[in-house]
A and B are shown apart, each in its own frame.
Chain A
Amino acid sequence: MSDLRHPSDETLLRLAYGSLGLGPSAVVGAHVAGCARCGGVVEDFERVAGALLELLPDADVPADGLARALAAIERDAPRPGEAPPAPPASRVEMPKGVALPQSVGDCDFSPWRTIAPGIRVSRARAHWARAFNVKLLSVQPGKRLLMHGHRGVEWTCVLAGAFHDGRARFAAGDLCEVDESVDHRPVVEPGEACVCLVAAEGSTRHHGMAGRLHQAIFGD
């Protein structure tokens, strides 16, 4: 854990194996798609996962499984190269020049809503994404976010602009992973609005009166 702008190894391991939640997987996946370093780490962890798959005990499967598979093969000739159906496009109006990552490209988002001066949010509507509070955040330049901590882990992939959280600077493509041991207060750099894709395991806790009020009103 040296470079804060990438997910932790444990997150990449869980992404490779499939045990990371769907919401965090989509956010971390948006980073990994553009990060050669993390792409290589995920491939390493996939190889370990493959080796571990062989070690899993071969628990009971129905005796007719193979026969059913072979019957399915006879019914349905192999169709190599057949294109999968195109996923439905997401309906969210992205800020100009900012692309929605492919990992949530098929996910429906709510219309943008201003939740505090200079801060707009658009929430993922799919059930799998809501479970992890997946959302897009757009924060005006120079804006300071509330000091907050986390009960679980929170992943933020920067899509445009940049912020600094007192530990490091996060710009487009970077991923900020924080757990309950980190209290941070991100500040958006002047110049350009900062747009992020966020998911969390567990919930966010805010500090102080303003934070608790914010939490009471906005529920996150």
Chain B
Amino acid sequence: MPPRQDNFEELIQSIAKSADRASFARVYEFYAPRVRNYLVRLGMANNVAEELAQETMLTVWRKASYFDASRAGASTWILTIARNLRIDHHRRASGRDAAPDDPSQAQESPAPPDSSLIQAESEERVRQALASLSAEQAEIIKRLYFDEKPHSAIAQSLGLPLGTVKSRARLAIGHLRRLLDDLK
């Protein structure tokens, strides 16, 4: 996996500042396919995932002024937008209730235009923390995140009995949390 090339935090800030379409294009090219992949992995049909990935990117454009790099890096911000849109979609699709709550649309004030990139740096350190997990723990963490039925996926991919998966998962998460704490 090559490291990401662009500084997406700056690109999003330039969307906010000057409605810059070229910046948006670069953000789109990197994130739209990944967001679509994220949604499909959570069990969404291809065509719906594609539509919601598109909606996620349009939300990035519309809400760019709310992006606060001192609170979350670009990837984290975009992931939470996609996550909330997916929840909205399922809650709406199931009838009876209409509008859902969307934490990303809560009463946040627009971010100051030149906020620092502290959080983006810490996202980089999160990448380092992930890289310093053992291969088995990294695999467990990825399955916990990416798979709908993580325990059976872990059992299968690591050849572990289902009974031991839970305790291994707990150890892996505990290790990850200690690494994250060390970064603070």
Chain A interface residues toward B at CB < 8 A: 1, 8-10, 13-14, 17-19, 22, 25, 41, 44, 46-62, 65-66, 68-70, 72-73, 78-81, 84-88, 102-103, 105-108, 125-128
B148 within 8 A of A: yes
Interface residues of B (CB under 8 A from A): 1, 4, 19, 21, 24-25, 28-38, 40-42, 50, 53-54, 57-58, 61-66, 72-80, 82-83, 86-87, 90-91, 94-102, 105, 110, 122-123, 126-127, 129-130, 141-142, 144-148, 150, 169-170, 173-174, 176-177, 180
Q: Are A22 and B110 in contact (CB under 8 A)?
A: no
A58 touches B19 (CB 8 A): no
Name the residue among A9, A79, A102 with the largest chain B CB count within 10 angstroms: A9
A52 to B141, CA, bound (A): 10
Closest chain-A Cβ to B1's Cβ sits at a distance in Å of: 6
Given A13-B173, A65-B54, A66-B25, A47 and B86 touching (CB < 8 A)?
no
Q: Is the CB of B173 within 8 A of A65?
A: no
CA distance A62 to B147 in the complex (A): 25
Q: Is the interface of B mostly helix, strand, loop or mixed?
A: helix
Bound-state Cα–Cα, A127 to B21, Å: 40
The answer to whether B57 and A69 have CB atoms under 8 Å apart is: yes
Q: Are B127 and A51 in contact (CB under 8 A)?
A: yes
A-B CB contact pairs (8 Å), 13 listed: A22-B90, A46-B79, A48-B126, A50-B73, A51-B127, A53-B35, A54-B75, A61-B53, A69-B57, A84-B102, A88-B97, A88-B98, A128-B94
B97 A108 Cβ-Cβ under 8 A: yes
A79 to chain B, nearest CB (A): 6
Q: Is B123 a contact of A50 with CB atoms below 8 Å?
A: yes
Contact A17 B97 (CB under 8 A): no
Chain B hits for A14, CB < 8 A: 144
Q: How far is the CA of A54 from the CA of B33 in the complex (A)?
A: 10
Docked complex Cα distance between A44 and B25 (Å): 29
- A18 and B83 in contact, given A47-B126, A84-B102 (Cβ under 8 angstroms): yes
**A-chain residues with CB within 8 Å of residue B1 when the two chains form the complex:** 54-55
Chain A, residue nearest B16 (CB): A80
CB-defined contacts of B79 to chain A, threshold 8 Å: 17, 46, 49-50, 53
Given the interface pairs A65-B54, A68-B54, A78-B62, the reply to whether A19 lies near B145 with Cβ below 8 Å is yes
- B33 and A60 contact, CB distance less than 8 A: yes
Q: B130 to nearest A CB, angstroms?
A: 6
B4 touches A54 (CB 8 A): yes
A60 to chain B, nearest CB (A): 7
A48 CA to B33 CA, complexed, in Å: 19
CA distance A206 to B45 in the complex (A): 37
Shortest CB-to-CB span from A44 to chain B, Å, is 5
In whole angstroms, how far apart are the Cα atoms of A79 and B64 in the complex? 10
In this complex, what residue of A is CB-closest to B147?
A19
Known contacts A50-B75, A52-B142, A106-B99; is-contact A126 B91 (Cβ 8 Å): yes
For B174, what are the chain A residues with a Cβ–Cβ distance below 8 Å?
9
Please determine whether A46 and B80 come into contact, CB atoms closer than 8 angstroms: yes
B145 touches A78 (CB 8 A): no
Across chains A and B, which 4 residue pairs bring their CB atoms closest together, nearest first?
A: A50-B76, A127-B94, A50-B75, A58-B33
Which residues of the other chain, A, contact B19 by a CB distance below 8 angstroms? 78
Q: Residues of B contacting A59 with CB < 8 Å?
A: 33, 36-37, 40
- Asked whether, in the complex, the Cβ of B99 is within 8 Å of the Cβ of A10, the reply is no
**Are B54 and A51 touching (Cβ within 8 A)?**
no
Q: Which of B4, B25, B33, B130 has the most A CB atoms < 10 Å from its CB? A: B33
**Once the chains bind, are B94 and A126 in contact (CB under 8 Å)?**
yes
Q: Give CA–CA (A154, B122) in the complex, Å.
A: 34
Task: Indicate if the CB atoms of A126 and B99 lie closer than 8 Å.
Answer: no
